[in-house]
Amino acid sequence: MTRVVLAGALLLALLTGCGSDTSADQTVVVYAAASLRSPFTDIGKQFEDANPGASVEFSFAGSSDLVTQLTQGARADVFASADVTNMGKAAEAGLLESAPVNFASNTLTIAVAPGNPKAIASLRDLTRPDIAVVVCAPQVPCGAATRRVEQAAGVELSPVSEESSVTDVLNKVTSGQADAGLVYVTDAIDAKDKVTAVAFPEARSAVNTYPIAVLEQSESPELATRFVDAVTGELGQRVLAAAGFKTP
């Protein structure tokens, strides 16, 4: 009888172990570019619903700042960059567990106050002395894109400040601290009626491609891979498209 009871207990334990959800009580930490805040928050919620017991924690900032934090020892499972340059830096530092996958693209637009009271119609208008313009710092993907569109348009901007993330640029415009700012199309869409977007043709010369990858230091690599699959799969692509992102 004792042997029967022990055998039954062992079988129950094996069945329980085989049937357990590996995502239970696990957290995937995602470092993502600031411009991904809105769609990734949505994807994260749907990911948690599809993976009971799992949770997603985000850290949103400029891609260059995120790479710096990761190289200095910050712990994360997934990195999503707003350009291939900063993902390349992460790869060179030996931070990636797998090859990055491109999942979206984005371009710049000019964000101005609602109704465009300064009548800004082109990138060259941002050089007018009566326009206070804000851009991203050169090391940030949106800043690098800004330099490329300046070259394409043959203009040189004189910004009143250079910010560490595209959301900081947008905040300067929505708060009235700047007349205009160069932000991603998706950020202007997400801001809704807080800004008016002014498209300009030179933006096509600076398309930013967004890659995502699982990090070598991940403590939950299986769950991290599942999150990457969610972003690059039908769910993520649907959410990203609704936010204004284009395919890579």
Closest C-alpha to 133, from 110, 114, 152: 110
- CA-to-CA distance for 107 and 118, rounded, in angstroms? 23
Q: At what angle do helices 37-50 and 221-232 cross, to 10 degrees?
A: 120
* SS3 assignment, position 91: helix
Q: Are 196 and 116 in contact (CB under 8 A)?
A: yes
pLDDT at 24: 63
The answer to whether 184 is annotated as binding is: yes
- CA-to-CA distance for 199 and 25, rounded, in angstroms? 45
- CA-to-CA distance for 222 and 149, rounded, in angstroms? 40
Q: Are 53 and 21 in contact (CB under 8 A)?
A: yes
Fill in the amino acid letter for 198. V
- Reported as type and span, the H/E element at residue 242 is helix 234-242
The answer to whether 35 is annotated as binding is: yes
CATH topology of domain 26-105+209-243: D-Maltodextrin-Binding Protein; domain 2 (3.40.190)
**What is the reported pTM?**
0.87
Residues 6 or more apart in contact with residue 74 via CB below 8 angstroms: 31, 59
The answer to whether 165 is annotated as binding is: no
Pair type for strands 101-106 and 208-214: antiparallel
* Bridge partners for 96 per DSSP: 215
pLDDT at 25: 76
pLDDT at 2: 44
The answer to whether 166 is annotated as binding is: yes
Q: What's the average pLDDT block by block, 10 residues per block, for the chain (248 residues)? A: 43 37 78 97 97 97 97 97 97 97 98 98 97 96 97 96 97 98 97 97 96 97 97 97 97
Residues 6 or more apart in contact with residue 203 via CB below 8 angstroms: 107, 108, 109, 149, 185
Q: Are 166 and 160 in contact (CB under 8 A)?
A: no
pLDDT at 21: 47
Cα atoms found within 13 Å of the Cα of residue 248, Cβ hemisphere only: 16
pLDDT, tens only, 199-245? 999 999 999 999 999 999 999 999 999 999 999 999 999 999 999 99
CATH 3.40.190.10 boundaries in the chain:
26-105+209-243, 106-207
The yes or no reply on domain 106-207 and CATH 3.40.190.10 is yes
